[in-house]
Amino acid sequence: MMDLFSQIEEPEREELKRLRKELEEANYKYYVLNMPTLSDREFDEKMHRLQALEAQYPDMFDPKSPTQHVGSDLAVSRQPSAVSKGFETVKHKYPMLSLANSYSREEIEDWVRKLPQGVEIVCELKYDGLSISLWYENGELVHALTRGDGTQGDDVIENIKTIPSIPRHLVGTPSTFELRGEVLLSWERFEALNKEREEQEEPLFANPRNAASGTLKLQDPKEVARRGLTVYLYYMLGEDLPGKTHYERLTTAREWGFPVSDAVKVCKNVDEVMAFIAYWDAERKNLPVATDGIVLKVNNLAQQEELGYTAKTPRWAIAYKFPAEKQLTLLKEITYQVGRTGVVTPVANLEPVQLSGTIVQRATLHNEDFIRSLDIRPGDRVWVEKGGEIIPKITGRELSAISRQLSDFSFPMTCPECGAKLVRVEGEAAWRCPNETGCPPQIKGKIEHFVSRKAMNIDGLGEETIDLLYRQGLLHNIADIYDLKAEDIAAQERFGEKSAQNILAGIEASKQVPWARVLFALGIRMVGETTAKKIARVYNTIDRLQWATAEQLCAIEDVGPQIAENIVAYFNDIRNLEILERLRQAGLQMEAGEAPEPFGHSDKLAGMSIVISGTFAQHSRDEYKAMIEAHGGKNVGSVSKKTSFILAGENMGPEKLKKAEALGVRLMSEEEFLDMINIVV
């Protein structure tokens, strides 16, 4: 009999194990890679099922289960992440827990009614961003920690300092306190960032939350500042703080100059709570930032402490998640777009439908595999969803449709623009047009990439102008740009002598663009801006790069076999070599210039990993980073046994100092460092 019961239980035990694995993977992709694979609702449903199974089988308890800890944005939790390298990990003074989620207004009503009689509830918007913890000591911002695994997080203080609304210095506040909030990217900035990425044929961010998370973990504060993060703070912690309620502390934080949302209300009963939810369910669509629900918190801080916590969540707070917006509409036809690298992307053309205040008529279908996985074809009624995402996506078809076209879906085998036979590289999902020099979208796309701001930065040559000059036979490739004449440009419709001269001035100025950006501008597949810089440091002339082998290229940081093969293939194409020779003759920078004084060049720091911490009198942190690289060293963000020394300025971070002392890492002063590389102060 026992054997029979064991056999019955076995499938549920296997389900328990599978759910743990699925949820860990989903956490990693969401928090670390910023590539969510499950919707919030799907994740929560799987989590609730896992909790039920663990309660059913207590002998399978595991402290490492996803039910026992919050998701982690720490790269070290699984494996290194490109965006998370170099940040110092700091322990939270107070654990950063997640909130229990509910998708049912009835459940929210039950939660409110179960609270002690007369308890006030603060309702506030749940902003869809990245959690942040700001530490202030003696009026100074000393740490800005991501949630991490709830007990420790990455210190991203230099990136947080790029947000203008966050005070760096305060007067008249308690000696030590912490403020928590959400780092966000507005819809406007999100759309602009994705437009840039689309032009570069880089993967688009799914939603502002992922864009904000990816931005906050960048290593370049200047790029973080350019993207324009914002923040809303929602909770204050510490000893001897003013106010006995959560609402009073929010008011105090606002008075101190912190960005606190006005969409906050103290509710005295369940009717007021439900009215707040109903109002913002509609009004949130007019906000400049993404929200995905309402957070309810017990107002009285003493009552919060009395209610306490579970292993993962506070009992005195809960989140109501807005349902994802979706509509059923007709898939009229599937068209195909060709990008600058030849990738053919299917696009769904829809019967117009309104979602989140905008009319949706088109949605990407990604690739052939995606279409087949959903089993959709023209004539189907399909579900279009926006939810917390601004990019509309098709999530499925109406299964109860009475009639469907009988023919199976067939991806085109020839390019819709030039008729060339499409190819599909093994291991890739995309079909690609190989006709790089004869396919119009590829030709124009390469020219648009070449003149873009991060590449050659040629003003006046926008998408429409390039299209016009291409149709007039004046532009066939990037080298033709340097053969343009004023009279040819001025003769075009809507152009005159002044416009022509402005374009020619931009073309002339581009001849001073440094070698690393020229390399990026060439548009070699998968060679992005950062990768181009790293390649240019190793191969400081185009002639050296041209003869590099794939094996040699793979020795460069972040250059893998596929990128190396793409570079080798680029230089093996005689057509590219002819274009490069024309660019050389035009005067473009095909080699790295000498580093500007007083930095110089040497190998004195070769093989050294150096951490910079504190403030400096002689040079900026960015200048010191440039010096380290110019003299062969490597900049790293966190202290470890591999750290050669710390370039230590005033007000060095206490955590870095403590770790350096524990590991015996040398501290080097500004003067000692400059003397080491022979730079006169």
Ramachandran region of residue 342, left (φ > 0), alpha (ψ -120 to 50) or beta?
Answer: left
Amino acid at site 555: A
Angle at 404 between CA 399 and CA 409, to 5 degrees: 100
User: Tokens 């998701």 label which residue?
Assistant: 71
| Rounded Cα distance, 469 and 601, in Å | 43
Q: Single out the catalytic residue among 17, 21, 46, 126.
A: 126
Q: 154 with 89: CB under 8 angstroms? A: yes
Q: 256 with 68: CB under 8 angstroms? A: no
CB-based contacts of 440-445 (< 8 A; 24+ apart in sequence) = 440/470, 441/337, 441/338, 441/339, 441/340, 441/417, 442/338, 442/339, 442/340, 442/341, 442/342, 443/470, 443/476, 443/477, 444/340, 444/470, 445/201, 445/339, 445/340, 445/341
| Rounded Cα distance, 355 and 390, in Å | 9
Amino acid at site 334: I
Nearest to 229 by CA among 211, 242, 202: 211
Q: 398 with 328: CB under 8 angstroms? A: yes
Half-sphere CA count of 239, side-chain side, radius 13 A: 4
Q: 633 with 654: CB under 8 angstroms? A: no
Q: 312 with 69: CB under 8 angstroms? A: yes
| Rounded Cα distance, 309 and 150, in Å | 14
Q: What is the DSSP letter of 207?
A: S
User: Tokens 């629900």 label which residue?
Assistant: 293
| Rounded Cα distance, 140 and 138, in Å | 6
Q: Kindly tell me the burial class for residue 218, based on how many C-beta atoms sit within 10 Å of its own C-beta (0-12, 13-18, 19 or more).
A: middle
H/E stretch holding 126 reads: strand 121-127
β 176-184/130-137 pair status:
antiparallel
* Angle at which helices 270-283 and 105-114 cross, to 10°: 150
Q: In the chain, what is the straight-line distance between the N-terminal and C-terminal CA atoms, in Å? A: 86
What's the distance, CA 99 to chain centroid?
Answer: 23
Active site residue 126: yes
What residues are annotated to the active site?
126
